[in-house]
Structure 1
């Protein structure tokens, strides 16, 4: 059998880090990342947050060979009820969204862009580490920013919309580490989200570890503040 693509499939477990719930599972995510022969990528993920009102999200996200977003679809339910469904498209000079939501009904959005969009936040945890490919590590550890990031929701759990929302993003590079998670032992890069100008509610510091192999594959994350949640890759399967 001939296959022109390769894939990685995996599972991420969400657990509470609060003292009274430490180690308690509070969600999970199943993902599939396909890298095509032309270098383009497609990520699909099914995400579940158990804490009420529970959140269930399904996404399909496309990137071109230069890691730039091309399109994304998001379907969302909250409290076990339909919240919304949206399709996003990213052109060199604009982003657009076609959505139907329980609160807003039929929605069409178009946002003008000064330059091609560098990254999109669809709230699948597996895609969080891809933002850090934009950090220039030749400058060493420190903090760098992205002026324009688009989200499918400004809510910390991604539990609204889905619709376009614009923010900035501050990223800190901590350094290289060897990290052991349930899925294995990896050479890793350690980053941290430190700011999100434009977000209605400030997000707690959010540490993220990803593979140090040019793929920026998600390995682990830890959210502080009121969230107190750990996200860990517990299963990985690679295909040709």
Structure 2
């Protein structure tokens, strides 16, 4: 369109690996930034456990979530298909769940929602922007909403409030298959009974 500002797209692939380094699946993602906000799309293939996750999340200019969609396919069958609409005082959820049919939820918000966790790794990386880089080593609870608090994001599958503890560890250099990068290291703890997960994002 003549005169329209161009959108900027970043895309890539993330390999899921076991503790031995063997690839167990992958995630293909695309982030589109446009004058009024951003869109994250991710397709996650957890091949080792037969799980597919299709996610789309829209954000405003400041990366606050506006709405989101997530479809979960387990062993070839759709387990859940859910839409999340973030409003000033609540999150509206429309879902179709295997075994439960259509489910509607309205979850109140005491403050604007900082993070919508639908479980693509690229989405997890976005929580680093919410945490920031102040006070390295200190975990800060980020108020969030998720569709699952299970390790693979495939159980429960209804809207749930959660506080995700995030710490900025420091600046590091990392080497991965894509190359050598200056990065910021974070630690994420979705639940108190889980060990913190390390996360590196490009500086």
TM bin, normalised by shorter chain, reads over 0.9
1:33 aligns with 31
Aligned residue for 1:153, secondary structure, equals coil
1:184 corresponds, among 174, 179, 186, to 179
Q: Alignment RMSD, CA only?
A: 1.7
Q: 2:79 — aligned with what? A: 83
Report how far residue 155 of structure 1 moved. Answer: 1.6
Task: Tell me the TM-score normalized by structure 1.
Answer: 0.79
1:14 and 2:16 equivalent?
yes
Out of 144, 157, 161, the residue aligned to residue 162 of structure 1 is: 157
Q: 1:47 maps to what in 2?
A: 44
The offset of 1:154, in angstroms, is: 1.7
Give unpaired runs (5+ residues) of structure 1. Answer: 213-240
- How far apart are 1:10 and its partner, in Å? 0.4
**Which residue number in structure 2 is paired with residue 205 of structure 1?**
196
- Deviation by residue 1:27-65 (Cα, 9 ceiling, x = unmatched): 101111101123x1101011011223x110101111111
What TM-score does the superposition give when structure 2 sets the normalisation length?
0.93
* Distance of 1:174 and 1:116 partners within structure 2: 26
**Residues 169 and 193 in structure 1, CA contact (< 8 A), matched pair in contact too:** yes
Say which structure, 1 or 2, has more relative contact order (CA 8 Å, 6+ apart). 1
Q: How many residues align?
A: 201
Divergent runs of 4+, >3 A: none
- Tell me, which stretches of 5 or more residues in structure 2 are unaligned? none
Change (3 A) 1:78 1:195: closer
CA–CA distance in structure 1, aligned partners of residues 94 and 42 of structure 2: 20
1:195–1:73: structure 2 CA closer, same or farther, 3 Å change rule? closer
Task: Report what 1:235 is aligned to.
Answer: none
Deviation at 1:195, TM superposition (A): 5.0
